[in-house]
């Protein structure tokens, strides 16, 4: 039973539902957007072939899992106040084992990235994934406690889940390839920008909402998060502004879809998200308790999920 308990604790530690979501996001972006974008005479001609994509996906999962582990490693005291029932490091898994797992998973993720980078002759992939590992470590050890810097880092890394696949399709040192694929890469760049921007904004909103949820423990251990520094009312205004930015994004997508006679899922989903976001604004206005902010955080996960699932309809437009 002790071994089973540790295995269960390990999967909780690496946030396996979030890893499944990362895998789903990258798979949809690859098969529903990248591959169809490079079809020539009925044949896919994308640079990132399935084997390399699989290796890159696994590397993303390993790096993300390592990031979750190191975050919990440095957050033992805070989590013991905010979420004592979810505490894994120091309770189920020893701290030294957590650090070892972080190191092994990070190195494995970078090793797989290196294989893909060398095969594609694209060392930028390896450099940026190495930067991701470094940022996750710096976020957990230092930047998480600083005003907005930690929120920004996590939001950028969330957007990178999509961005890494776009970077895999470019060859900055191959002018002939870039010219041949100019049209497809230009279209792919715009789509990547939309989905990466969407992921960035939703992640930023959710990180700030989680800061409001975790104020008690954060304040006790000297964190300088936005709700601690600015207060809850000002933080709510910040979140509301970004929610309106999301509403504007969905409205623009819906309007563009209708003008170009895209299939109904695009604008139906966009209008549904707009309604959900306005409902969330109402909840945010009335939120006072930790449980209120926890519910908003969970609903933001659903917004992210439905936004990512819209990739399924992209080439049905």
* Distance (Å, whole) CA 237 – CA 234: 5
pLDDT in tens, 104-135: 999 999 999 999 999 999 999 999 999 999 99
Q: Which of 258, 269, 251 is nearest to 309 (CA)?
A: 269
Q: Which residue has the tokens 């470094």?
A: 134
pLDDT in tens, 177-192: 777 788 888 889 989 9
Tell me the whole-structure pTM to 2 decimals.
Answer: 0.92
pLDDT at 155: 96
pLDDT at 261: 66
**Are 317 and 260 spatial neighbours (Cβ–Cβ below 8 Å)?**
yes
Distances (CA, A) of 6 to 3, 9, 13, 174: 5, 5, 10, 49
3-class secondary structure, 87: coil
Distances (CA, A) of 208 to 160, 243, 247, 293, 297: 19, 12, 18, 10, 9
Q: List 89's β-bridge partners, or say none.
A: 93
Which residues are CB-neighbours of 226 under 8 A, at least 6 positions away? 147, 148, 151, 208, 211, 234, 235, 238
- Pairing type for strands 39-40 and 43-44 reads antiparallel
What DSSP character marks residue 226? H
Task: Give the Cβ contact number of residue 114 at 10 Å.
Answer: 17
pLDDT at 263: 65
**Are 72 and 136 spatial neighbours (Cβ–Cβ below 8 Å)?**
no
Q: List 39's β-bridge partners, or say none.
A: 44
Q: Which of 106, 190, 191, 206 is nearest to 155 (CA)?
A: 206
Angle of helix 290-309 relative to helix 264-286, nearest 10 degrees, comes to 170
pLDDT at 272: 86
Distances (CA, A) of 233 to 143, 179, 229, 283, 284: 23, 51, 11, 14, 10
pLDDT at 1: 45
* Distance (Å, whole) CA 173 – CA 138: 31
pLDDT in tens, 193-208: 999 999 999 999 999 9
**Are 255 and 261 spatial neighbours (Cβ–Cβ below 8 Å)?**
no
Q: Which of 34, 188, 48 is nearest to 116 (CA)?
A: 48
**Are 212 and 249 spatial neighbours (Cβ–Cβ below 8 Å)?**
no
Tens digit of pLDDT at every position of the chain (317 positions) = 477 778 888 889 999 999 999 999 999 999 999 998 888 777 778 889 999 999 999 999 999 999 999 998 887 877 777 777 778 887 888 889 999 999 999 999 999 999 999 999 999 999 999 999 999 999 998 888 888 899 999 999 999 999 999 999 988 777 777 777 888 888 899 899 999 999 999 999 999 999 999 888 888 877 888 999 999 999 999 999 999 999 998 888 878 777 776 666 777 788 888 999 999 999 999 999 889 999 999 999 989 998 888 888 776 54
Q: Which long-range contacts (CB under 8 A, 24 or more apart) does 28-36 make?
A: 28/308, 28/309, 28/311, 28/312, 29/162, 29/165, 29/195, 29/311, 30/57, 30/165, 32/311, 32/312, 32/314, 32/315, 33/188, 33/191, 33/311, 33/314, 33/315, 34/165, 34/169, 34/188, 36/314, 36/315
């Amino acid at each position: 039973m002790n071994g089973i308990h540790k295995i269960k604790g390990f999967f909780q530690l690496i946030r396996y539902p979030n890893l499944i979501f990362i895998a789903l996001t990258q798979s949809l972006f690859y098969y529903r957007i990248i591959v169809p974008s490079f079809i020539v005479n009925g044949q896919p001609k994308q640079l990132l072939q399935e084997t390399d994509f699989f290796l890159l996906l696994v590397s993303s999962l390993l790096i993300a899992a390592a990031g979750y582990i190191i975050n919990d490693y440095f957050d033992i005291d805070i989590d013991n106040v905010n979420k004592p029932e979810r505490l894994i490091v120091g309770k189920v898994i020893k701290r030294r084992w957590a650090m070892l797992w972080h190191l092994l998973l990070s190195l494995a993720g970078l090793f797989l990235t290196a294989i893909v980078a060398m095969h594609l002759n694209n060392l930028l992939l390896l450099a940026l994934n190495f930067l991701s590992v470094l940022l996750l470590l710096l976020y957990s050890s230092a930047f998480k406690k600083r005003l907005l810097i930690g929120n920004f880092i996590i939001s950028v890394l969330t957007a990178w889940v999509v961005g890494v696949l776009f970077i895999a399709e470019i060859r900055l040192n191959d002018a002939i390839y870039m010219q041949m694929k100019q049209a497809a890469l230009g279209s792919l760049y715009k789509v990547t920008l939309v989905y990466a921007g969407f992921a960035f904004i939703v992640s930023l909103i959710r990180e700030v909402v989680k800061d409001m949820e975790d104020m008690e423990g954060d304040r006790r251990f000297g964190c300088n998060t936005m709700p601690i520094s600015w207060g809850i009312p000002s933080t709510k205004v910040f979140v509301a502004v970004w929610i309106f930015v999301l509403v504007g994004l969905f409205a623009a997508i819906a309007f563009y879809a209708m003008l170009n006679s895209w299939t109904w899922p695009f604008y139906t989903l966009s209008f549904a998200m707009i309604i959900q976001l306005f409902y969330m604004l109402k909840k945010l206005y009335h939120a006072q308790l930790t449980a209120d902010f926890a519910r908003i955080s969970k609903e933001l996960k659903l917004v992210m999920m439905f936004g990512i699932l819209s990739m399924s309809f992209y080439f049905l437009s």
